[in-house]
Structure 1
Amino acid sequence: MRVVAERAQRRAAIRALLPPVGRSLPWRLLGAAAGLGLVLAGVTRLVPGGSGTAPALVLLRSVAIAFALGAAFLLDDPARHITAVVLCRRALRTGLRMVLVVPLAAVSWTGALLLVPRGIRPPAEDVSLEAAVLTALALTTAAAIVRCTDEPQPGPGVAAALLAGTALAMLLPGRWALFVAVGAPGWTAAHQRWAALLVITVLLGAALLPEPIRRRRTSLRAPRRSQR
């Protein structure tokens, strides 16, 4: 019975958190990133006869970067110092933010893939893996900043780091290359590296979600001090 009661309390807490968490999300930035991605993907249909697989791959990678830049602002919370004393764990609040954005990300990315004509569309699974890794890197970097600093809006710094990291990744030598052309000998090996990077990033991001114990204790003591 105790387990059932705890589950009921958890569900009630989640239902209570959904509206405020939803209102705090940067929907304009996320919508702008999704819209830009769809526009970029739609460029492939503006060229008579198609633009070719290589340009389509470049455009889809640009779409992935646009989505990741939008995700970089997902953990921005101007009221962070107020919500720090909320009894609900930060991992739950952050998880709800991600869950609320998943439908938008899924629909936008699917729409971008479908906008590219089938004849010139790069392998959808491999390009989707690249997009997932870029988004995961943005979220994990934001989670690291939130955990290790008091910065309420890590988005701009994460976006700048993501752009710089992507530019550097394009310069990696063949043995370590991530951005490989379709049909190149290293395509399969590159996406094995993408898959390994995704696993590492997700595990690291999950480890960064909980609030540090010391900071949590300090936050819980803060209201008592203010009442004196």
Structure 2
Amino acid sequence: MTAAGETAATPTGRRARAALGPLLAATARTLRRAPLAVGAVLGLLTAACSRLLSGGPADPWLSLTLLRVAAVCLGLGLAFLLDDPARRTTETVPTGRALRACLRAALIAPLTALWWAAALLLTPADARPPLAETTLEAVTLATLALALAAVAVRRSAEPEPGRAAAVGVLSLTVLAALLPDRWGLFVAQGSPHWAAAHDRWAALLAVTVAVWALSIPEPLHRGRLRPRPSGA
């Protein structure tokens, strides 16, 4: 790159960084904090129950089950992340829907990571399930919630798709829990199907990330093209 090109690029980069701060602050103000807070608190309380309900030596099955329920609680809260009562007035702003959605996800991602670390610490160490596999489950449930919310936003003009996305998360979780271990996701630790189940979790994570990426941009055409009159 020439010196002139570097000089031209530097002010542009500075302007972009200067604009990012106010944009993040404005995005943070529009987040629906109540559903996120309720989901996070319920999840932590659920994870903490593994210490209270064991009664003696910690039960690995109970700890894993409660961690999974905690992850579902967080997913239900994250389903409301894209709720924006002012969506109809922000569709014409310079920042596109994809950027606004990614900013919301970026704001909540560090807090979500801290929340999961706290949930793991609340689980008795001697009954804590494998970290990598349970984290994969939690991340997949979180991205499932975001993907369902993104699909709801793209497929309708609903400014607050969180309720529909939360119903979808809960329904899919119940259906997955009813599947037999041979094809299921929520298998018991030590099951011969444990590794295969987490291969399915990884595949589901890839699908949900792809659905999120494809759903957050605005549609190129907001309505159907009508055929022109034959005499035109």
For the criterion TM > 0.5, the same-fold answer is: yes
Q: Which ranges of structure 1 fall in alignment gaps of 5 or more residues?
A: 217-228
Q: Find the counterpart in structure 2 of residue 93 from structure 1.
A: 100
Q: Is 1:200 matched up with 2:184? A: no
Q: Find the counterpart in structure 1 of residue 22 from structure 2.
A: 16
Q: Find the counterpart in structure 1 of residue 135 from structure 2.
A: 128
Give the alignment of 1:53-72 within 5 angstroms. 53-72=60-79
Q: Find the counterpart in structure 2 of residue 160 from structure 1.
A: 167
Looking at structure 1, the residues matched to 180 and 51 of structure 2 have their Cα atoms a distance apart, in angstroms, of 33
Q: CA deviation at 1:13?
A: 2.9
Looking at structure 2, the residues matched to 196 and 50 of structure 1 have their Cα atoms a distance apart, in angstroms, of 35
Looking at structure 1, the residues matched to 39 and 90 of structure 2 have their Cα atoms a distance apart, in angstroms, of 27
Q: Which ranges of structure 2 fall in alignment gaps of 5 or more residues?
A: 224-232
Looking at structure 1, the residues matched to 13 and 166 of structure 2 have their Cα atoms a distance apart, in angstroms, of 37
Q: Secondary structure at the match of 1:170?
A: helix
**TM-score normalized by the length of structure 1:** 0.89
Task: Choose from 26, 38, 44 the match for 2:44.
Answer: 38
Q: Is 1:114 matched up with 2:118? A: no
Looking at structure 2, the residues matched to 6 and 193 of structure 1 have their Cα atoms a distance apart, in angstroms, of 44
Looking at structure 2, the residues matched to 76 and 159 of structure 1 have their Cα atoms a distance apart, in angstroms, of 12
Deviations 1:197-224 (A, max 9, x none): 11121122112111112249xxxxxxxx
Q: Percent identity?
A: 47
Tell whether the 8 Å contact from 1:50 to 1:117 is kept in structure 2 after alignment: no
**TM-score normalized by the length of structure 2:** 0.88
Looking at structure 1, the residues matched to 9 and 221 of structure 2 have their Cα atoms a distance apart, in angstroms, of 28
Q: In the comparison of the two structures, how many residue pairs are matched?
A: 216
Tell whether the 8 Å contact from 2:96 to 2:217 is kept in structure 1 after alignment: yes
Q: CA deviation at 1:12?
A: 2.9
Query: Match for 1:206: what amino acid?
Result: A
Q: Find the counterpart in structure 1 of residue 187 from structure 2.
A: 180
Closer, same or farther in 2 for the Cα pair 1:8/1:211, shift >3 Å? Answer: farther
Q: Find the counterpart in structure 2 of residue 81 from structure 1.
A: 88
Looking at structure 2, the residues matched to 120 and 93 of structure 1 have their Cα atoms a distance apart, in angstroms, of 40
Which shows bigger deviation, 164-173 or 58-67?
Answer: 164-173
Query: Match for 1:105: what amino acid?
Result: T
Q: CA deviation at 1:5?
A: 4.2
Deviations 1:45-70 (A, max 9, x none): 12332440111111000000001000
Q: Secondary structure at the match of 1:31?
A: helix
Q: Secondary structure at the match of 1:213?
A: coil
